[in-house]
């Protein structure tokens, strides 16, 4: 029995030194301390020992069991520490590595054009005003001398809302709102979104942006309007730009005009963008109709004014050679990151 105990002890010491994983340790525990383990068997065999030797044998087995148990705890502890150490090494973070930058956002091309346009007019004394996108028929049409039979009121063009209001079809109602609250001189630039119920294609979209401008004072002349538009064209499209004006019609201006700028791509020689004409149409304008001045309570015999309105999408498309208006609204980063 004594020899048996000794050989189990030696075997256990050898096995322990071979253990390198948690499973090894568990197997070893079962082998020696399990229900059919070697130590358990020793206890069962104690009945074969002479009665007077039994207490001493029992003591030996107890000691051995104690030794193996605490050795198992120690080795297990060592293995777990090793595993943790390895994991820490693998997952170590090098805090000295440079971080990944998240990249800067870009300004939307429409916002870019809008800002440039506003800046140009602010530099010559215009200040910015805004009005609501949900408008009444009065501000969008009536006060602007657009009679109820005018085709612009057609359901085809205007988004009418259930509450009797509508989405403004242009920024011209801001003229009325500003003039109602101010006495001349007023010199205003009004940027904003407008909505039209049109078929969506490469050239037209159900919403777009306009910049409206107007100036009312006691002696505002048509030639001043021409001068301001010429200045604006040079600032936005380049020093060599020229403007050309053509007669047109808007109910709220008289006379009305459309303004073209010389094609900045071919310098007026004629190319694909200007359709061989050398000119690009950029805005509508005119002298504010006396009926509009009267609708806000101005004395149309004492004050005059001019007004103009331009589409920001169209100008942006010309500036950057963009051929589809829908690109502005799709938020595709491949497009947006180019600006
Ligand atoms: N409101 C006009 C449009 O949407 C543009 C315009 C504004 C024309 C001011 C003349 C004067 O087409």
pLDDT mean values, one per 10 residues, the chain (339 residues):
84 86 87 87 85 86 88 88 90 88 89 98 98 97 92 82 95 98 97 95 94 97 97 95 96 96 88 89 97 97 97 94 94 92
Question: Does ligand 1 come within 6 angstroms of the Cβ of 307?
Answer: yes
CA of 168 to the centre of ligand 1 (A): 12
The CB density around residue 125, as the number of other CB atoms within 10 Å, is 11
CA of 335 to the centre of ligand 1 (A): 29
Which one-letter DSSP state was computed for residue 282?
E
Ligand 1 atom closest to Cα of residue 172:
1
> How far is residue 339's CA from residue 328's CA, in Å, rounded to a whole number?
12
Q: Where are the alpha helices (DSSP H) in the chain?
A: 2-18, 22-33, 38-45, 54-90, 109-122, 137-140, 173-181, 222-237, 290-295, 312-320, 333-336
Q: What's the CATH number for 109-336?
A: 3.30.930.10
Q: Where are the alpha helices (DSSP H) in 266-332?
A: 290-295, 312-320
pLDDT value for 253: 97
> How far is residue 166's CA from residue 259's CA, in Å, rounded to a whole number?
28
Domain boundaries, the chain: 2-90, 109-336
pLDDT value for 60: 85
Q: Where are the alpha helices (DSSP H) in 91-152?
A: 109-122, 137-140
Ligand 1 atom closest to Cα of residue 288:
11
- The whole-model pTM stands at 0.72
CA of 284 to the centre of ligand 1 (A): 5
Q: Which two tokens stand for residue 198?
A: 């049109």
pLDDT value for 178: 98
pLDDT value for 2: 81
């Amino acid at each position: 029995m004594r020899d048996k105990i000794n050989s189990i002890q030696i075997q256990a010491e050898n096995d322990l030194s071979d253990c390198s994983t948690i499973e090894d340790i568990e197997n070893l525990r079962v082998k020696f301390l399990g229900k059919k383990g070697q130590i358990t068997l020793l206890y069962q065999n104690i009945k074969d020992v002479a009665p007077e030797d039994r207490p001493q044998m029992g003591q030996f087995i107890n000691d051995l069991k104690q030794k193996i148990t605490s050795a198992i705890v120690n080795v297990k502890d060592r293995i777990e520490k090793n595993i943790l150490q390895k994991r820490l090494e693998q997952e170590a973070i090098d805090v000295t590595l440079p971080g990944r930058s998240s990249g800067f956002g870009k300004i939307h091309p429409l916002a870019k054009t809008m800002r440039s346009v506003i800046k140009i007019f602010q530099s010559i004394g215009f200040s910015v005003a805004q009005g609501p996108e949900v408008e009444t028929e009065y501000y969008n049409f009536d006060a602007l001398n657009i009679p109820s039979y005018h085709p612009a009121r057609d359901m085809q063009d205007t988004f009418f809302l259930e509450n009797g209001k509508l989405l403004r079809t242009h920024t011209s109602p801001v003229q009325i709102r500003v003039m109602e609250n101010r006495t001349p001189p007023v010199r205003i630039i009004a940027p904003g979104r407008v909505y039209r119920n049109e078929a969506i294609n490469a050239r037209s979209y159900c919403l777009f942006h306009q910049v409206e401008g107007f100036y009312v004072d006691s002696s505002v002349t048509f030639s001043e309007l021409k001068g301001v538009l010429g200045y604006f064209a040079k600032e936005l499209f380049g020093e060599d730009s020229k403007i050309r004006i053509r007669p047109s019609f808007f109910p709220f201006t008289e006379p009305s005009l459309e303004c073209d700028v010389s094609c900045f791509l071919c310098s007026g020689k004629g190319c694909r963008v200007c359709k061989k004409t050398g000119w690009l149409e950029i805005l509508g304008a005119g002298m504010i109709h006396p009926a509009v001045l009267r609708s806000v309570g101005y004395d149309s015999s004492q004050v005059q004014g001019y007004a103009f309105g331009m589409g920001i999408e169209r100008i942006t498309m010309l500036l950057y050679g963009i051929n589809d208006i829908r690109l502005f609204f799709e938020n595709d980063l491949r497009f947006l990151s180019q600006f």
